[in-house]
Structures are given as structure tokens and as C-alpha cells.
Amino acid sequence: MPLRLSYLSLLPLLCMAVPLPEVQKINERPIIGIVAQEVTDEAFVPFGKTYIADSYVKFLESAGCRVIPIRLNLTEEEYLRIFKSINGVLFPGGDVDLLASSFARTAGIFYRLAVEATSSGNYFPIWGTCMGFQILTSLTSGKDLLVPTSASNISLPLNLTYDISSSKMFQHASPELLRVLRRENVTANFHHFGITPEVFQANEKLSTFYRILSTNRDKSEVEFVSTIEARNFPIYGVQWHPEVNRFQWRSDHAYPHSVNAMWISQYTANFFVNEARKNMNTFSSVQEEEESLIYNWTPKYTANISGYEQAYFF
């Protein structure tokens, strides 16, 4: 009489024969650092030497993370300790020298540490907005390759490239969200300099490290690169400002406030914070973590003197 085996009796053997896929660990309490910006606006001088606009803080917090300020002019050892404690870093917009400023030095240290960590299997993401985008191009190329672009106080759609479909940033975006990006003025631009696609592609360090996801044209029809992501690292840059859609309100500034503009802003915040969830760095103690969070500083109302509603000063 032939041996009859039920499916249930075979289940243990099937489980042994087919290895289960490894489940990726997810950090449910991510903390992201924002590099402080040097004060260049005279209106801010009385309050401190460096600052972080609250819109960047809220942008990240809205996607479910906490934030610490990364202050300038610390030692490399102090930056290394911070790097090993956080799960990602954001380079904000501003107006400083891309090669010689304190901001450039600090960003450069975190860029190097992030590349080294990811190369060794410790996934560490970076996001650059506006000048943060520009600093990424200078850190990778070793040069300031910017040219004048008349794209201040204007909102635009994106001219998406073919790499969008296979990109990490947008490969899971819905067709409707991509349609919004292509057709509606949902990306706010506030920059006087940019990098052209021709210069970008001609620089071997840039073209091999990043791929271009979108371009735009300024008020004089000069084309500039507007969105990039690294090919082999979780490093992302946008020449536009996704944070202003939801958190900045000055009426004479081209901040897009449509429902779809809110969607784009939240999408980008969710994307980057989800990238940070793939990093498992932690502070050495609960006390050190709590003392590092931006909750320890009180933001100042600045909407009467700037485009920011509030800012943290250091």
C-alpha cells in the first residue's frame, strides 16, 4: 500500500527546503540631523550665528521622525559621535560658499561618513534641498560648477527624465502623482544659481555617481538640473523646496499651497524618513538622546523679518 502524506505532514519539510527571505529590520524611532545654516541675513544677526528654519524640522517630523540640530564648527570626533547616533542627515537651503564655508566643512564630513558607512553595509541616507542639493554636487565633483539661473520666487512642474521609473525616489509613486509633478506648479524654486545638464553630464564624477531625475528651465529659459539621486547610495538632492508647500506662508512668495502641492511635500518627506528607518544607529544612552533633540531649543517667530515662520538659533 503506497504511503500517503498529507500537506500538513509535509509542511515542516517544505519550510526546511525553501529558505525564508530575510526580513529587513526597520527602525521605528528614526532620528535625523539637520545641519545648521550660517546667518547671512542681517535681520537674523541679533539672534545667533547659525540657525535652522522650522519648516525643515516640521517637514521631517510630519513623516514620523525626530530631529536633532547639527551645529557648525564642532570637531570631527564630535561629528563622528553624532553620525553614529542618528539615522540620516538633511542639508538645507541657504547662501554660503560651497567649498570654503563652515557649512561646507560640516556637510563634507557627514557626506564622507555616509558614503563610507553605506559602502560597509550600514545604510545611511542624505537629503539635500536647494543649497543642500548644490553642496552635494560640489562635494562629489570637488568643484563649484554652478552658473547663474533666474529661478527665484517661482513654482514649476518638473521635466521628469526616463530614469524616474527605476529611481528609488519615485519608482513607487502613483501615475497620478507623477502627472501632478509633470503638469502642475508644485515645486517652489528660490535660487539664483544652478547646474546645467550639459555641465553635469560632462563632469565624470557627477555623471557616474548620480543620475538626473528631472530638469527645469528658469525665467530666461536656461535649463538646470532639479532632482538627482545617487546610483549606488541613498543620497538625494532637489534644487526645489518641498518643505515650503506646507510650512511657509508669506503671501508675496511663490509657495504652492494646492492640495496636490501638499501631496508632493508629504510624499518626499515620507520617502526620506522611510530611508532613515533602514538605519539602526542609536545614541549611547536615553539621556544623551533626549539632550540632543531639537525640543531643547525654542524657535523664534521670524515671519515678520523673513520667509520663515519660525527659526531655531544657535
- DSSP secondary structure string for all residues of 77-93: HHHHHHHTT-S-EEE--
Cβ burial, residue 180 (10 Å; 0-12/13-18/19+): buried
Residue 73, phi-psi category: left (phi > 0), alpha (psi -120 to 50), beta (remainder): left
For residues 269 and 249, what is the distance between their CA atoms, to the nearest angstrom? 19
For residues 249 and 102, what is the distance between their CA atoms, to the nearest angstrom? 29
- DSSP secondary structure string for all residues of 134-189: HHHHHHHHSS---EEEEEEEEEE--EE-GGGGG-TTTTT--HHHHHHHHHS--EEE
For residues 199 and 201, what is the distance between their CA atoms, to the nearest angstrom? 6
Given the residues 15, 191, 192, 241, the one annotated as active site: 241
Given the residues 130, 172, 191, 253, the one annotated as active site: 130
**Longest Cα pair distance anywhere in the chain, in angstroms?**
94
The count of C-alpha atoms lying within 13 angstroms of the C-alpha of 14, restricted to the half-sphere facing its C-beta, is 7
For residues 160 and 175, what is the distance between their CA atoms, to the nearest angstrom? 13
Q: CA separation (Å) from 154 to 188, 225, 236, 253?
A: 6, 15, 22, 8
3-class SS letters over 36-57 = CEECCCHHHHHHCCEEEEHHHH
- 130 catalytically annotated: yes
- 253 catalytically annotated: no
Helix H or strand E segment including 223: strand 223-230
For residues 137 and 124, what is the distance between their CA atoms, to the nearest angstrom? 18
Residue type, 282: T
Active-site amino acid positions: 130, 241
